[in-house]
Structure 1
Amino acid sequence: MARYDEHDQARWVPEPPGDPERSAFERDRARVLHSASLRRLAAKTQVVTPADYSSLHSPRTRLTHSLECAQIGREMGKVLGRDPDLVETACLAHDLGHPPFGHNGEAALDELARPCGGFQGNAQNLRLLTRLEAKVVTEDGRSAGLNLTRASLDAVCKYPWAASTCRLPGVPQAGEGQPYCVYPDDLGVFAWVREGAPERRLSFEAQIMDWADDVAYSVHDLEDALLSGYVTAAELRDPEERLEVCRLARAWYVPDADLNELAEIFARLVAGPLWPGRFDAGLVDLAALKRLTSALIGRFCRSAQDATREAYGDRALAGPRSHDEADGRYSADLVVPRLTRLECALLKGVTGRYVMSREDHHATQARQRELIAELGALIVQGAPETLEPALRADFANAPDDAARLRAVVDQIASLTDASAMAWHRRLASAPPAGRAVPSRVTSWGRRQSW
């Protein structure tokens, strides 16, 4: 097991020693498990909304996905010599920053937040964990969020750099359109988290979390697609249909892959003994589907574990004894064989083609984006009273319009799918006196006063 020193276990705001029978990372895990942000994931979209499924087959939500990711990541971390509580904490927290309506809501909020630097779910993760969640408050009244350890926060940093619009000396930046994990006004804590880390390098624990995330959603979204009836076993055995999946997978996930190579890999996958020849959702078929998903998860995890141990050996994966040596959290990289990555991408391609590319899904997404734009304008009109009490001070004390807008964005990002729609209905039905309800937030940049 890797040794984690005081530097790894330090907290942004020093705290008295905790229960000696619990490790610092066990405390981190508990803080995330008990957080409001994690609970809210139960009502946030993973791929499609629960209403799109029959009542018999509850689809994954962001919460169930995070729990499944955590189980996968914890076991991989243990096998690879990492602290399992640390890896599980990162997996539980990796999606906390996602707004209502999944990645579609993320795109809508990014548009809304352009005047204050944009929106990114990964950057919102760090903001929640270090500022917005209620757990630790400093002597001067500043929130430190959950005040997790440096190693746990770093393990959540999937993209350890700032937005491309950030222009601060010495701060690594994202490329245009590239994800990032910190907003400019959170750079102080980000610099503390990354103290001593190689620039732009993910910790080994963050890499395990990232692969556990890929494994969980690629396999389980396939399961949900079959359960929903959006795709049939017969379609996945049709070479022409599979070729369309391969084209989408290459375009979205693996642009460097050869189409014929993908087609051959997909054909071998569906020819496997566990792949369903038919699926009518009876108990026998449901059990068979579970055997398939279990086998795929085991296949993807073992492949990465075996390749990584072969590349580094058990001793190297165990890490150093102190922070003075090469940092154990950066002493290795997770090795995922190319074949495994392509198989995973093909499973994502199934969901992409049969769920995310449906015309009715596109129409729903358009309505969701419009709702978020309108909700932003409605909250702005009545702020700070239209914000929850925890965010009103951020708005009222903000030094400029950008900071006020960030408080509004924080509010919308915290909502679930259902509560976003409920807030929209409530605010739209009772607009501020003398003001019309705007249809879009297109006039934000021209707003002269609050």
Structure 2
Amino acid sequence: MAEQTVAVGAGLPAGEYSVHDRERWLPEQHSSRRSDFARDRARLLHSSALRRLAAKTQVLSPTAGIDFARNRLTHSLEVAQVGRELATSLGLDPDIVDTACLAHDIGHPPFGHNGERALNTWAADIGGFEGNAQTLRLLARLEPKVFGPDGRVYGLNLTRASLDASCKYPWPSTSSVADPSGRAKYGFYADDTPVFEWLRAGAPERVRCIEAQVMDLSDDIAYSVHDFEDAVVNGYIDVAALGSRVDHDDLVRSMYEWIGGEFTHDELIAAFDRLDNLDVWLDGWDGSRRSQARLKNLTSQLIGRFAGAAIHATRQGATGATLVRFGADVVVPPGIQAEIAVLKGIVATFVMSRNTRQPIYAQQRQILTTLADALYADAPQHLDAGFAEDWHDAENDVARKRVIVDQVASLTDQSALSWYERLVRQ
């Protein structure tokens, strides 16, 4: 990963986190001098859920035969690097933000957002599927680490501050919000209400802590910049045509539709012009080492541009002595938001919205829903041991169907294909 400088001037003094912030759902005693938040990061870093991200789709599936494209794990590591520097510059605990960044995608199923749509459809009668809600479920229940004296599972049993920082949408499905594609976004399932209420104790309703906001911004920055980089490297974007404005009106129209009207056509055109006028913007691509170096330099400069502007604006907007938890909000200048949206829109237009990929997406959805049907019909046979135990402990059909969702969501792209071949096409 290219070196990136995102800080602007000296960082703010580190804020104080309370005993309340450091509490765990199941109290623990430790003899080492490692901080509570460093312990959280270590637990997440060593989790099997994080390792599985290495074989899950970011934009291109790891099964697509492109062995150097980013996957969910490399993306999460890059998000964490950006987030850690942002946290340090803003006086936040870097381990809290690092943990939230590493965790932000662990709830995603095989095949990325396409797989998320498939499972949401399959689970519509039990409350649906949402990757962020699944993240909380993994952190607080499914990832095996801590069990109580009564046998109750607590997942990784992270501190309240780290768990809250990982919660991108702190509200239930009954009051969800829709993203630009129309998908309902929320933070927890109904049967995970107890842990959600615990982690949000004392928090303002529907307000994200600043650490969660930094995680979200870091994700946006890394997603927009690195997916653009991957799309260039893998030949999805014609750099020369992009710079010469070939079919430019159609591109801007497509970006506008993908983004969902958050910015006007004129704002998107102005943002594209600002990026195109940067000295480091690409004027061609031939795959040579020189081209690769120029692309890496563009990546670094864009990350520094976006993060640096947010750091400056957030500091300017802060009124209290400390920013931690609910002491301030992240501020991203509108022009920077538009530039990030332009990069996302370019990738969406050239990669995710291509008609040639639509049959692939349909096939992926069919694989997951058919696999879920097969597992549900034969359960608990074929389930991993932990999910088979959950099936036996389930009190009703709703809970049992949720076990199938948990099992399918845990699979990597390759294991989903293998299970489908073994259980459906045998």
Instruction: Give the structure 2 partner of residue 439 of structure 1.
Output: none
SS at match of 2:325: helix
SS across alignment from 1:255: coil
2-structure distance, mates of 1:101, 1:267: 33
Q: Does 1:409 align with 2:405?
A: yes
Cα RMSD, aligned residues only: 1.4
Residue in 2 that maps onto 1:28: 40
> What residue is the counterpart of 1:83 in the other structure?
93
Give me the whole-angstrom Cα distance separating, in 2, the residues matched to 1:150 and 1:174.
Answer: 22
Partner of 1:174: 176
Match of 2:32 among 19, 33, 43: 19
- How far the C-alpha of 1:271 sits from its partner, in A, is 2.3
The one-letter code sitting in structure 2 at the alignment partner of 1:4 is Y
Between the aligned partners of 2:277 and 2:152, the Cα distance in structure 1 is 58
Structure 1, unpaired ranges of 5+: 165-172, 320-327, 431-450
Give me the whole-angstrom Cα distance separating, in 1, the residues matched to 2:260 and 2:270.
Answer: 15
Cα distance in 2 for residues equivalent to 1:311 and 1:410: 41
Find the partner of 2:318 among 297, 301, 312: 312
Partner of 2:160: 150
The equivalent residue for 1:373 is 369
Which of 114, 129, 141 matches 1:131?
141
Give a deviation string over 1:165-217, Cα, whole Å, max 9, x none: xxxxxxxx214753001000000000000000000000000000000000001
Counterpart AA for 2:207 = R
Aligned partner of 1:382 in structure 2 is 378
Aligned match of 2:387 in 361, 386, 391? Answer: 391
SS in 2 for 1:239: coil
1:49 paired residue number: 61
Q: Secondary structure at the match of 1:330?
A: coil
The answer to whether the Cα contact below 8 Å between 2:242 and 2:248 also exists between their aligned partners in 1 is yes
Q: Which residue is equivalent to 2:331?
A: 335
Provide TM-score, normalisation by structure 2.
0.93
Q: Which amino acid aligns with 2:27?
A: P
Residue 329 of structure 1 aligns to a residue whose secondary structure is: coil
Q: 2:210 aligns with which of 204, 207, 223?
A: 204
TM-fit CA distance, 1:413: 0.3
Map residues 327-366 of structure 1 onto 2, 5 A cutoff: 328-366=324-362
**2:80 aligns to what?**
70
Instruction: Say which SS state the counterpart of residue 138 (structure 1) adopts.
Output: coil
* 1:276 aligned residue (274, 282, 304): 282
Task: Determine whether 1:192 maps to 2:204.
Answer: no
Q: How far off is 1:397 after superposition?
A: 1.9
Q: What do the CA deviations read for 1:358-389 (whole angstroms, capped 9, x no partner)?
A: 12211100000000111011101211122100
Which structure: larger Rg? 1
Letter in 1 for 2:52: R
Identity of aligned residues (%): 49
- The counterpart of 1:104, out of the listed 90, 114, 129, is 114
> Is the deviation greater in 298-307 or in 394-403?
394-403
Alignment deviations for residues 55-88 of structure 1 (CA, whole Å, 9 cap, x no partner): 5xx1110000000000000000000010001100
> Does the aligned pair in 1 maintain the 2:146–2:154 contact within 8 Å?
yes
SS in 2 for 1:296: helix
| Residue pair 1:309, 1:317 contacting (<8 A) in 2 also | no
Contact 2:63 2:414 in 1 (8 A): no
Determine the structure 2 residue equivalent to 1:169.
Answer: none
Secondary structure of the residue that 2:146 maps to in structure 1?
coil
Query: Is the contact made by 2:63 and 2:413 (CA closer than 8 Å) also made in structure 1?
Result: no
* CA distance in structure 2 between the aligned counterparts of 1:333 and 1:241, rounded to whole angstroms: 39
SS at match of 2:286: coil
Output the CA distance in 2 between the equivalents of 1:244 and 1:79: 39
- CA deviations 1:230-263 (Å, max 9, x no partner) are 1121121132433333223322225142212311
Following TM superposition, by how much is the alpha carbon of 1:54 offset from its aligned partner in structure 2, in angstroms? 4.5
Q: How many residue pairs get matched?
A: 409
1:288 aligns with 2:294: yes
3-state SS of the aligned residue for 2:424? helix
* Contact 2:130 2:185 (C-alpha < 8 Å) held by counterparts: yes
Alignment-mate amino acid for residue 147 of structure 1: N
> Is contact 2:139-2:157 (8 Å) kept?
yes
Structure 1 equivalent of residue 17 of structure 2:
4
Q: Does 2:218 match 1:222?
A: no
Does the CA contact (< 8 Å) of 1:74 and 1:85 recur in 2? Answer: yes
| Runs (5+) with no aligned partner, structure 2 | 1-13
